[in-house]
Structure 1
Amino acid sequence: MLPVPRRWIRKFPPSFSSPSTRRRHCLWMLLILLLVCVTIQTFLIRHARGVKLMGLLSLTSSLSEHKPTLPNSAAANEDPRWRTPTQRPANTEAACRPKSHIVFLKTHKTASSSILNVLYRYGESRNLSFALPLKQSSQLFYPFFFSSHFVEGAGSRRRFHILCNHMRFRKSEVAKVMPQDAFYFSVLRHPAAMMESIFIYYKSIPAFRKTPSLDRFLDSSWRNYNSSVSNNHYAHNVLAFDFGFDNNVADEDLDERASAAIATIERDFHLVLISDYFEESMVLLRHALCWSLEDVVSFRLNSRSQHTRHRLSADTAERVQRWNALDWRIYLHFNASFWRKVERLVGQEAMRREVSELRGLQAKLANTCLKEGGAVHPSRVRDAALKPFQYGAAVIQGYNLNPQLEGRTRTTCQRLITPELQYTKHLFTQQFPEVAAKLRQRSKGSV
């Protein structure tokens, strides 16, 4: 067999088989594999992010469309609190500084006396100044529109830390006695529940005086109600009245007037609470003011005993909503905005937790401070300085202090249960001792 010609035999370059060459080729292959892996990983990450973003957008869209169920005539106590699973924003407390310039519009029969006590205790413990009613009055000349000269010491163009007594709101006058950065807030209550309370508490006003029941009043409301008679404003859209609006509105003007009132309140107030959810309101308030839970714990003050409370039928609640249609529109709007602010400022998981903590704090304080552990009939309140003011057909309960308390604990507990009138007088005496002394002398001279 003939040998294969040498030119037909393919020879590899001598350098290919050298160790250094093989290493270089291996490194190139590894580099190419690494680039392929990085490309695949980048694609997978981007795809995952896209899926996650689409899910987040879908969740956000569903949350924006989901609003809490508002109380209606058939279910005035329906609870819209825990509708969507959101988490509290992580940065709400990090840059938070406690607010001490505060305006509270104290509305009627909305648990506002308990909120007033919270503000009184916070201010007194920090030596803050109060815009108190002139000449030691209990209200800022309500039902007249608020004027700056209703405040003791306002003539010196002084600015106060806290304004919180009953008034008929007028922003331009309030601004004359309060700092520009003041935090404005108020509280609303479901108009049906509020009307039931008002009918009992203000039974002596002309609109209610001759009417045996709320249902009978609603049967002939236009005949029994005369807006020109003193104090009859309590019987009709009193929330709107307290905010400074005309509480008498014709049906054909309701939409326009309600929209204008809501827009004005949104402009003038940073926060509107809902007393039907009092504990949640206190948690939201403490976040808005950058306070602690201990700062907003309270006992119920100016509260009626159970035997003077009457459960309203669905039909009666509907008729109250029609009669107080302006208040009802305002309530519906701010009940919805309340829960949106809970979502934004607190989050539902944190709200659940803090409401539970707040209840625990209140229970501990009741166990420490109160002799009977809770409220008692006014006839059983032993300390005259702690007896609550009685008015109308309501029976306002009070508290007895644990007699074994001493020092700071006793002071703290006594502040928690001091009724509004006595606490206002106490603060007035502290803040204006000379004026208070003159008023006492004048009172003795007139006896």
Structure 2
Amino acid sequence: MANATSNITRPTIKSWGFVLMVLFFIGLCGTYRKNFMKEPTVQSAQPPYTILNRTFTSEGACEAKRNFMFVKVHKAGSTTANCIFQRFGYEHNLTFVLPVIRSDVGWPNLLRQEDFIPSADGTYNVLVDHTVYNRQLLDHLMPPDTMYIAILRQPLSHLRSVFNSYHLVKKMRGLQRSDPVASFIKSPDQFHVPYVKALSHTREPYTLAKNYMAYDLGFPLGLSDSQSSIDEYIETLSREIDLVLILEHMAESLVLLRRMMCWTLKDILYNVAPKNLKKYKKTPMSTALLKQHRRWSNVDYQLYDHFNATLWQKIQREGADFPHEVRHFQNVLNQTAIFCTKAIMKVPKIELNLTAGKLTIPKTTWHEEFDIDSTLCLKLKMEWHDWSHVLKKTHKMPPNLSSGFRRAISMTNTRVLDKSLLLNIFHVD
């Protein structure tokens, strides 16, 4: 019996030992998986945000940049960005370099002292109207800590916009009406007049259809066939301009601008409807024509390619939360657009709907809670003509301002604002 009992017991002990051994290995594998094979975690919608390479005035806050110059490149979405800058300057009581003529500070020529309205103390914070970029002249005018910003657009899209806005089909005889842009690119020398000077009576440079963006950014167009000059010029711009916005990536550009300038999300809100929306024909372009246009407008393409790449290099350095902030910004823009359709009425003129209340944007890791009301909706809807009128009327001028400058201030017009809104919202006539 003893042997029988022993024979029964041994298999039972071995069985438990086997079970314990299996459990040990299962636990070991679980620990290994937990420590070394973690599943990727999903980023939260609003991860912690730290501002890199900034000067902090207090914990968690940095000092907003208030001195800046915007190179307003024609037909590159610059009017939308310009209205953001004008609103920011007005809200923070900044002093603008204001043009005597329309929206041009010397453009298409280099700026002169006669081209802008003097300020009371001779100093300026902001320049956002059209001017040919020249750093030496701008450094003489703007404060030493000025931030320099520009904007670019994909060159073919830019050319289409230029054709539409400047009515080039009427000015260039012989273009095929079915697709005038393609017709132009096939033989641009047939239609392009190679003058290296601006037309004084129209204030338009000769280069409307060739390297027009480079012209605004100060490139000497007589050197367009010199690759070494182009390379040197782009390298210089890369050092001198702090940020180049890209129209095709406007949301990303503005969020990066907000971080760089240490502004609030509210500061970069804008009217999502384009300011100068004009329809123009978009037909597929053959590979051969695309290559032809790249050769023709070679400086613009190299500018765009370089600064588009530079934009994304800067974005990569911003951290993993950047795309989340971009999506949040786009959501806020959409919410604002919906709210503002109720907050502003057109019956028959624009009026504020004071019963609309307000839209509250909750606090996030990127900004404090803020409200959007009908007054802000009006400011977002305003065009540069409206802001130019308000800024000139509120401009602090020297007491001995000449009659010519005073006429420039009085000769303004508005697109959105009427006399009632000017008086009640901005306290100007």
| TM more than 0.5 | yes
Work out the CA distance in 2 between the residues paired with 1:339 and 1:442. 42
Work out the CA distance in 2 between the residues paired with 1:314 and 1:432. 54
CA contact 2:344–2:377 (8 Å) conserved in 1: no
Work out the CA distance in 2 between the residues paired with 1:432 and 1:248. 40
3-state secondary structure, aligned to 2:275? coil
- Give the CA deviation at 1:357: 1.2
Matched residue, 1:302:
275
- Give the CA deviation at 1:309: 4.6
- Give the CA deviation at 1:411: 2.4
Matched residue, 1:377:
none
Out of 229, 237, 245, which is 1:273 matched to? Answer: 245
Question: Could you give the per-residue CA deviations for residues 94-123 of structure 1, whole angstroms, max 9, x where no partner exists?
Answer: 723110000110101211111111111111
CA contact 2:87–2:387 (8 Å) conserved in 1: no
Out of 63, 67, 83, which is 1:97 matched to? Answer: 63
1:331 maps to 2:297: no
The structure with the larger Rg is 1
Out of 129, 136, 143, which is 2:108 matched to? Answer: 143
Number of residue pairs matched by the alignment: 331
Matched residue, 1:179:
143
Question: Could you give the per-residue CA deviations for residues 57-85 of structure 1, whole angstroms, max 9, x where no partner exists?
Answer: xxxxxxxxxxxxxxxxxxxxxxxxxxxxx
Work out the CA distance in 2 between the residues paired with 1:439 and 1:146. 17
Q: Kindly tell me: are residues 356 and 401 of structure 1, through their superposed partners in 2, closer, same or farther at Cα, counting changes over 3 Å?
A: farther
1:162 maps to 2:144: no
TM-score w.r.t. length of structure 1: 0.66
Give 2:327's aligned amino acid: S
Work out the CA distance in 2 between the residues paired with 1:312 and 1:227. 28
CA contact 1:297–1:362 (8 Å) conserved in 2: yes
CA contact 2:344–2:351 (8 Å) conserved in 1: no
Question: Could you give the per-residue CA deviations for residues 350-381 of structure 1, whole angstroms, max 9, x where no partner exists?
Answer: 2211111111211121122225999xxxxx99
3-state secondary structure, aligned to 1:431? coil
Out of 214, 232, 236, which is 1:260 matched to? Answer: 232
- Give the CA deviation at 1:327: 0.9
Q: How do residues 13-92 of structure 1 correspond to structure 2 at under 5 angstroms?
A: 91-92=52-53
- Give the CA deviation at 1:242: 0.5
- Give the CA deviation at 1:221: 0.6
Structure 2 residue runs of 5 or longer lacking an equivalent are: 1-35, 37-47, 57-61, 358-371, 413-429
1:361 maps to 2:332: yes
Matched residue, 1:287:
259
Question: Could you give the per-residue CA deviations for residues 161-196 of structure 1, whole angstroms, max 9, x where no partner exists?
Answer: 111101111112212221011001111111111111
3-state secondary structure, aligned to 2:245? strand
Work out the CA distance in 2 between the residues paired with 1:382 and 1:310. 35
Out of 241, 246, 255, which is 2:215 matched to? Answer: 241
Which has a greater percent of strand? 2
Give 2:228's aligned amino acid: E
Question: Could you give the per-residue CA deviations for residues 200-223 of structure 1, whole angstroms, max 9, x where no partner exists?
Answer: 111248864653300111122112
What's the % identity of the aligned pairs? 24
3-state secondary structure, aligned to 2:207? helix
Structure 1 residue runs of 5 or longer lacking an equivalent are: 1-51, 53-86, 375-379, 384-399
Matched residue, 2:380:
416
TM-score w.r.t. length of structure 2: 0.69
Matched residue, 2:45:
none
Question: Could you give the per-residue CA deviations for residues 385-426 of structure 1, whole angstroms, max 9, x where no partner exists?
Answer: xxxxxxxxxxxxxxx666456899332111111111221122
Q: Kindly tell me: are residues 284 and 218 of structure 1, through their superposed partners in 2, closer, same or farther at Cα, counting changes over 3 Å?
A: same
Q: Kindly tell me: are residues 92 and 221 of structure 1, through their superposed partners in 2, closer, same or farther at Cα, counting changes over 3 Å?
A: same
- Give the CA deviation at 1:245: 1.2
Out of 427, 430, 436, which is 2:394 matched to? Answer: 430
CA contact 1:301–1:417 (8 Å) conserved in 2: no
Out of 345, 348, 351, which is 2:322 matched to? Answer: 351
Question: Could you give the per-residue CA deviations for residues 283-340 of structure 1, whole angstroms, max 9, x where no partner exists?
Answer: 01001101111111112442325x4352442434333222111111111111111111
- Give the CA deviation at 1:249: 4.4
3-state secondary structure, aligned to 1:184? strand
Q: Kindly tell me: are residues 401 and 166 of structure 1, through their superposed partners in 2, closer, same or farther at Cα, counting changes over 3 Å?
A: farther
Work out the CA distance in 1 between the residues paired with 2:385 and 2:173. 25
Which has a greater percent of helix? 1
Matched residue, 2:164:
200
- Give the CA deviation at 1:126: 1.2
Work out the CA distance in 2 between the residues paired with 1:381 and 1:250. 52
3-state secondary structure, aligned to 1:185? strand
Matched residue, 2:89:
123
3-state secondary structure, aligned to 1:117? helix
